[in-house]
Structure 1
Amino acid sequence: MKLSQNKRIAINLVIISIFVWTLLFVNPGHIMAMKYCHVFVSCPSATSFQMLLEMKLFSAQLIGWGLMVVAMMLPKLILPIQFIYQQSFKRYRFLCSLLFVFGYLLVWMIVGVFMIEIIMGVNLLLPGSYIPALGLFLIAVVWEISPMKQRFLNLGHDHQVLSAFGWKAFRDSLFFGLTHGVWCVGSGWALMLLPMLLPKGHNVAMLIVTFIMISEHLEYPRFPQWLFITRFKLLKIIVVQTKIRLMMF
């Protein structure tokens, strides 16, 4: 049976995400340097600080951050990329999608530079401590129920009409990726930083955060207000789809 275009997009992005998740768990060559950066604080603080700021280590940490973003965020891009395919001519679709993803990841990578600085500073000041993660967890809880968080989530559902021809189609796709990245950063910055501040349980926390962020992305826009919302839509979808598959056998 031939898969629909939307299903092919979803399957391909999920496969890529799973592949990158595998890289993060296997961690060949210690690409997730941020996970281990607390080790360097065993040296004198001034020497350690200079060592951590060396370009080689910083680049390794940035690569780890980039892989983490790809693994966690690609499933969230399924709907926008499906939208691009619906709005674009066939000969432009793939390139427009690449430009969208590039713009989206570029925003997260720029933010990652500041995130890494925070992580390194925290690990120098409070090595192996759960206090920074606990403090950020409290901030994240407040941010999750805030109207500002909901505004960013609402903006993430705003898929503007894209130009169909020439360089304007490519420009609009890139700008779409940049703006979508800004809205995602605005809504999820605290959740993304939280796993990186944990001395242990980093990978488990990343999986939990990914589940939460995908779930909230699937929710419909709401009026921005102070409100606690149980975002379990992804879990509901998984349960329903599982029941359907079981009934087919």
Structure 2
Amino acid sequence: MTVPGAARVRPPRTAPVRRFLRPRVTLAFELVAVAAWIALIASAVTGGSHDAARAGAAHHHMSAPHEVHGASASADLVMWAFMSVAMMLPAAVPALAHVGTNSLRRRRQRAMATFAAVYLAVWIGYGALLRAPAPLWARLPDDVALACALALAAAWQLTVHKRRALRDCHRSSPLPPSGPRAVAGACRFGLRQGWACLRSCWALMLVMAVASGRSGMLVWMAVLTGIVLTERLARKPRRPTRLAAAALAAAALAVVLPDAAWRWY
């Protein structure tokens, strides 16, 4: 006996595939993140503008120190902006989808672009603020500075402030449908999401700031992006957060112990 409607029941295994193949409102922004990754990989492979700025600074140090310092600072900030797009924009995809699905079709892309601009401005501002303490870790040996940053990130993963910030990252916000209120709502939501994400991931991005421009930078970017995405997309992020803390602590030991053992030997 055939049950009515049984032919319309799809196997559960096909559901994730169908969801993936369904048209995505966030596809353009996902492609922007991919483009940022490609640009950073190309920069690392070819030497990029970051190393060129440093080489130019060394070459012209005696002739125009203030001009060269400004060029180097600008190159560092541009590099940070690309890293923010590559690493943090994917974490904002659920919030972008919320903006897209709750906006009128005619202004959907504009609302999402407004949200993304405000969200990324928070991270770029954080990168600009990190310029002030950068000379402090620049005086330390590379391995020691990176190990300290990793240990700090591991400790932050276990705090109640991290859990609260991560919980705020999962909160949505009502968005007005049209008019100036819609623009203000997208900006406000972008600021809230950016601030919550910054409170959650500032220590992870501090690791990235310390590792920036050094060998293995792309590996650290991939690892940290994986941690951020796992925490953001997990339904119960507490377990991934603890596992990330253990991994970061192990990485801190792995970075500093070989150097210490070599010195003792």
Q: After TM superposition, what 4+ stretches of structure 1 lie above 6 angstroms from structure 2?
A: 2-6, 38-44
How far residue 4 of structure 1 moved from its aligned partner, in angstroms, is: 8.6
> 1:52–1:58: 8 Å Cα contact kept in structure 2?
no
> 2:96–2:112: 8 Å Cα contact kept in structure 1?
yes
- The partner residue of 2:144 within 131, 137, 142 is 131
Listed one character per residue, the Cα deviations across residues 47-72 of structure 1 (whole Å, up to 9, x for unaligned) are: 8xx65983221111111100000011
Q: Cα–Cα, structure 1 residues 105 and 228, in superposed 2: closer, same or farther, change >3 Å?
A: closer
- The partner residue of 1:30 within 44, 48, 56 is 48
- The partner residue of 2:209 within 192, 196, 201 is 196
Name the structure 1 match of 2:37.
Answer: 21
> 2:53–2:72: 8 Å Cα contact kept in structure 1?
no
> 2:165–2:199: 8 Å Cα contact kept in structure 1?
yes
Name the structure 1 match of 2:28.
Answer: 12
Listed one character per residue, the Cα deviations across residues 190-226 of structure 1 (whole Å, up to 9, x for unaligned) are: 1112133134311100110000000000123678xx9
How far residue 25 of structure 1 moved from its aligned partner, in angstroms, is: 1.1
Name the structure 2 match of 1:114.
Answer: 129
Query: What runs of 5+ residues in structure 1 fail to find an aligned partner?
Result: 232-249
- 2:185 paired with 1:172: yes
How many equivalent residue pairs?
221
Q: Cα–Cα, structure 1 residues 143 and 167, in superposed 2: closer, same or farther, change >3 Å?
A: same
- 2:200 paired with 1:187: yes
Letter of the aligned partner of 1:184 in structure 2?
C
- 2:100 paired with 1:85: yes
- The partner residue of 1:65 within 55, 59, 80 is 80
Letter of the aligned partner of 2:228 in structure 1?
M
Highest Rg: 1 or 2?
A: 2
Name the structure 2 match of 1:207.
Answer: 222
> 1:196–1:202: 8 Å Cα contact kept in structure 2?
no
Query: What runs of 5+ residues in structure 2 fail to find an aligned partner?
Result: 1-17, 245-265
SS in 2 for 1:176: helix
Q: TM-score, normalised by structure 1?
A: 0.77
Using the alignment, how far apart are the partners of 2:149 and 2:159 within structure 1?
15
> 2:231–2:237: 8 Å Cα contact kept in structure 1?
no
How far residue 165 of structure 1 moved from its aligned partner, in angstroms, is: 2.3
Q: Cα–Cα, structure 1 residues 227 and 69, in superposed 2: closer, same or farther, change >3 Å?
A: closer
Using the alignment, how far apart are the partners of 2:198 and 2:225 within structure 1?
13
Q: Cα–Cα, structure 1 residues 227 and 104, in superposed 2: closer, same or farther, change >3 Å?
A: closer
> 1:153–1:221: 8 Å Cα contact kept in structure 2?
no
Listed one character per residue, the Cα deviations across residues 127-176 of structure 1 (whole Å, up to 9, x for unaligned) are: x5211111111111110111110100000111111111210001000111
How far residue 42 of structure 1 moved from its aligned partner, in angstroms, is: 11
Q: Cα–Cα, structure 1 residues 38 and 207, in superposed 2: closer, same or farther, change >3 Å?
A: farther
> 2:231–2:240: 8 Å Cα contact kept in structure 1?
no
Deviates more, 1:55-64 or 1:209-218: 55-64
Using the alignment, how far apart are the partners of 1:6 and 1:183 within structure 2?
29
Deviates more, 1:7-16 or 1:85-94: 7-16
Name the structure 2 match of 1:153.
Answer: 166
Name the structure 1 match of 2:253.
Answer: none
